[in-house]
Chain A
Amino acid sequence: MKTMYACKVCHIITDKDKCPICGAPTSKKWKGYVVIFDPTRSLIAQKMSVTKAGEYALRVR
């Protein structure tokens, strides 16, 4: 299975070592997994301040 990384700033999960959205470094030490389909209607997305659909980690070290 491919190692997945999470952005240290926006928490988006990616397979790259740099975040494709904000350009911040990523880390392979992350916990929790959230998939946001509709950030405009999702209350979880609002609580997490997520504005873009995608996969996110809850905690990144």
Chain B
Amino acid sequence: MGEEELFERPKIFSIKTQIGKERNVAELLKGRVKKTGDKNILSILVTPELRGYVFVEAYKADEVKKMIKAISYVRGMLEGNIPVEEMEKFLTPASSVEKITEGDIVEMIAGPFKGEMAKVTHIDASKEEITVELFDSVVPIPITVKGDQVRVVRKREEG
């Protein structure tokens, strides 16, 4: 470790990757860091909110660039860096049911009821599941689905 690093704050560098291969890139980079015993890279971060990017906490951009050379699925490194404070919000990813409230009208975007409209009757925040009643069914049967399988179409009207 160089003397200047002792007083320097680490920065976050963004690596562009093929979408869906973020974890593969992180694991390949992890293997490379361990193999070379690199002291420049301090951590690697993959957040579900930012697809197509892997973030590396390090001191020197040049050394990160050298490290990611020839790693599969890497599409390059963005110029500049992000202050660590800006990454804080990504360290606690938002729950998929956070923006849904009981009474909302949702559209099913996955699963066997894809494309159907439904009304939210119950929310289980700990399991990130919601219970809905489909509009088009003759008998209103409650169906429990994952929060990421629906898209809010209309919020519940207040009052």
CB-CB under 8 A from B22, the residues of chain A are 33
Whether B93 contacts A32 by the Cβ 8 Å rule is yes
CB-CB under 8 A from A33, the residues of chain B are 22-23, 26, 44-46
Candidates B42, B91, B95; contact of A47 at CB < 8 Å = B91
Cα–Cα distance between A33 and B49 once the two chains are bound (Å): 12
Minimum CB–CB distance from B11 to chain A (whole Å) comes to: 9
Whether B10 contacts A41 by the Cβ 8 Å rule is yes
- A15-60 contacts to B (CB < 8 Å): 31-38, 41-45, 47-48, 55, 58-59
Query: Chain A: how many interface residues by the 8 Å CB criterion?
Result: 19
- Tell me whether B104 is interfacial, beta carbon within 8 Å: no
- Tell me whether B137 is interfacial, beta carbon within 8 Å: no
Chain B binding surface, main DSSP class? mixed
- Tell me whether A2 is interfacial, beta carbon within 8 Å: no
Cα–Cα distance between A55 and B88 once the two chains are bound (Å): 18
- Tell me whether B30 is interfacial, beta carbon within 8 Å: yes
Whether B91 contacts A58 by the Cβ 8 Å rule is yes
Cα–Cα distance between A7 and B48 once the two chains are bound (Å): 18
- Cβ contacts B1-14/A at 8 Å (1 or 0 each): 00000000110000
Chain A binding surface, main DSSP class? mixed
Query: Chain B: how many interface residues by the 8 Å CB criterion?
Result: 28
- Tell me whether B33 is interfacial, beta carbon within 8 Å: yes
Candidates B26, B33, B57, B127; contact of A43 at CB < 8 Å = B57
Whether A35 contacts B88 by the Cβ 8 Å rule is no
Whether B84 contacts A34 by the Cβ 8 Å rule is no
Sample 12 A-B pairs with CB under 8 A, ordered by A number: A33-B26, A34-B43, A36-B43, A38-B42, A43-B42, A44-B43, A44-B45, A44-B84, A44-B87, A45-B42, A47-B84, A59-B95
